[in-house]
A and B are shown apart, each in its own frame.
Chain A
Amino acid sequence: MNKKQKRMLARILLAAALLLALAFAPVEGWPRFFLYLVPYLVIGYDILRKAARGIRNRQVFDENFLMAVATVGAIALALYEGSGDYTEAVAVMLFYQVGEWFQSYAVGKSRRNISQLMDIRPDYANVERDGRLERVDPDEVAVGAVIVVQPGEKVPIDGVVTEGSSALNTAALTGESLPRDVGVGDEVVSGCVNMTGVLKLRTTREFGESTVSKILDLVENASSRKSRSEDFISRFARVYTPAVCGAALALAVLPPLAGALGLWPDAGWETWAYRALTFLVASCPCALVISIPLSFFAGIGGASRAGVLVKGSNYLEALSRTRIVVFDKTGTLTRGVFEVRGIHHSRMKDETLLEYAALAESASSHPIAQSIRRAYGREPDRARVTDIRETGGSGVTATVDGHTVAAGNDRLMERLGVEYIPCRGAGTVVHMAVDGQYAGHILIADVVKPTSKAAIRALKEAGVRETVMLTGDARAVADRVAAELGVDEVHSQLLPADKVEQVERLLAEKPAGARLAFVGDGINDAPVLSRADIGIAMGAMGSDAAIEAADVVLMDDDPLKIAKAIRISRKCLSIVYQNIVFAIGVKLACLVLVALGLANMWLAIFADVGVMILAVLNAIRALFAGRG
């Protein structure tokens, strides 16, 4: 509770106590009026002042005005009728303030909640000077400087490990609770928490350019982009209050007038005036106006806890309507790293074949050669290899342990006159010939991420109708991956410009109201990311290009997060709609009851405050949408 809230609580308690005491006080007439004026002014002086200022500034129709007119009117009516029943007016003001207090408390609480979620801002960086650690502002650390991160501390700036090894907790960034092991040479992103060992990092960016700054900036500015629901509510509130005031005035004037003219059974103008005042109390739009932005705010907060950063409420809204998801293959559904998938038709032991291949390719920096060396697992002993000859675009020949070894594609085999067995699998094939004899082949392919298949299924369950995969890869590879994953549509051998074209075609074909999301890894697909209704970049830790281009950023590279993001957005939006329908519904029902004379002011204020409290509590539920 802040100071304002504490003072308000004191006023509420004081007014309530006074009201209770006065209920037993045997005073009549004017003294009674003045006595009741005390709690009324204690609880409502600021409302009256605001209403008066509003009128002076020609900003008449707001809730202060509604409350001031309703309560002053009720007191005046009690005075006129001589009933001495001032309790009602004071109680209305009291409950209204209770509602406002609760709202301010709930909003403050969820603000704090969300800033705690994103508690990744580092306060300092450790710099070693003359053998001693010194704490400095991360802003002052230059690129290339060496910083020390001790166990339990946050990594303040992006960098590369130069000394030490440790496990990093990336939960605040990715929602992933499994620690990540790092050692010398590994890149470390800021915002992670160092868990076990002391790390020395050479910074690769300034603090302002570091991942942690970018993320904080993104999250803090997220809900500035408003959704259509929010716009709807602010437009609604603009016409609603004047309309209700007009209706109340009509209720106070028209029926008595009709009664006087004999068109209507005359109920006396006091009755109608009372109903009109009750009408004003019941009409306050607070519940709506607060609960909608609060729902979005909580939804965005809940999503960031799950490692899904949404750049605005409008994107959260669009995400909930996603019907088509278009994937870039490499780096999104697949790891984007080549791996040995199999060794076929081998005439010797598989390990020996791989060893020969690794030795023959030991001098090459080609990705294929790297993947073979990785599969081999050891550093090839260069001394065993001589006469390495690379033949551009077809492979290498070399002498390994006295044997002539050729490793390459179909063309190399044809040129050497070796009969080879074509591979049925999709991917890149490296044929091997040892001493002029065919020795089998090694199949190398991009690896599908372990969760990709589950991710496609989860998307279908989340209501996505169509999944499309776009890739620059060869058709055979693309078709195999698509079949394996269960993707509906696949387009292969595309240049970057073709991808934009495909997305534009899908955008033109999709039904109205459906949204298209494009998922990429943020590397050279920025044009597509911005062209789609929602651009989702994944594996964005450390890649600021992706953070900039996308509307939704997945902090790690797990494609399952896409379905999770959609589920969170659905839940948040359903909370928004529940609140809109519930609040407007109860309000309208209440207004009808009041106009018919079936509800008094007590009911009206309970309906108003009750609806607001329920709507706010419902809104806060969105904060937990990312769980489970």
Chain B
Amino acid sequence: MKKTYKIDVDCANCANKMEEAARKTDGVESCTVNFMALKMVVEFAEGCDHRAVMEQVRKNCKRVEDDCEIFL
């Protein structure tokens, strides 16, 4: 399953860091962050609860870049 989320982040490098943090989260199959469109496209692994996963993704992203936001 693939879902797109709106995000807010200030710099391109921070967007890269968010992408990497999201990819390392359990339950995330793949993730691309589009800095210019301020969007995060997440593909979830089979049979996981995407809400729970996104909560974790958000937490992980906040850890690498505290200025970022993901609108769930």
Contact = CB atoms under 8 A, between A and B. Distances in A.
Q: Do A and B make up one complex?
A: yes
Interface string A217-234: 000111111100000001
B11 A221 contact: no
Nearest to A107: B36
B10 A297 contact: no
B63 A223 contact: no
Contacts, number: 66
A289 B16 contact: yes
A224 B17 contact: no
Q: Would you call the interface of chain B mostly helix, strand, loop, or mixed?
A: mixed
B48 interface: no
Interface of A: 4, 50, 53, 57, 59, 62-63, 100, 103-104, 107, 110-111, 220-226, 234, 237-238, 285-286, 289-290, 293-294, 296-297
Contacts of B36: 107, 110-111, 223, 293-294, 296-297
B37 interface: yes
Contacts of A103: 11
Given A59-B64, A237-B13, 18 more contacts: A4-B10, A57-B63, A59-B17, A103-B11, A104-B11, A107-B35, A110-B36, A111-B38, A221-B37, A221-B39, A222-B37, A224-B34, A224-B39, A286-B13, A289-B16, A293-B36, A294-B12, A296-B36
9 contacts: A62-B13, A223-B34, A223-B37, A224-B41, A234-B19, A293-B12, A293-B35, A294-B12, A297-B36
B26 interface: no
A353 to B, nearest CB: 60
Contacts of B32: 224-226
B67 interface: yes
A390 B70 CA distance: 68
A111 B8 CA distance: 13
Contacts of A100: 10-11
Contacts of B37: 111, 220-224, 297
Given A57-B64, A224-B34, A63 B13 contact: yes
A221 B4 contact: yes
Closest 4 CB pairs of A and B: A297-B36, A289-B13, A234-B16, A290-B12
A65 to B, nearest CB: 12
Contacts of B64: 57, 59
Contacts of A294: 12, 36
B55 interface: no
Contacts of B19: 234
A237 B66 contact: no
Contacts of B11: 100, 103-104, 286, 289-290
A285 B13 contact: yes
Contacts of A57: 63-64, 66
Contacts of B34: 221, 223-224
B70 to A, nearest CB: 15
B61 to A, nearest CB: 11
Interface string B53-72: 00000000001111100000
Nearest to A241: B13
A289 B67 contact: no
A432 B37 CA distance: 63
Given A100-B11, A285-B13, A50 B4 contact: no
A110 B38 CA distance: 13
Contacts of A111: 36-38
Nearest to B33: A224
Nearest to B62: A57
A297 B38 CA distance: 12
Contacts of B35: 107, 293
B39 A50 contact: no
Nearest to A222: B37
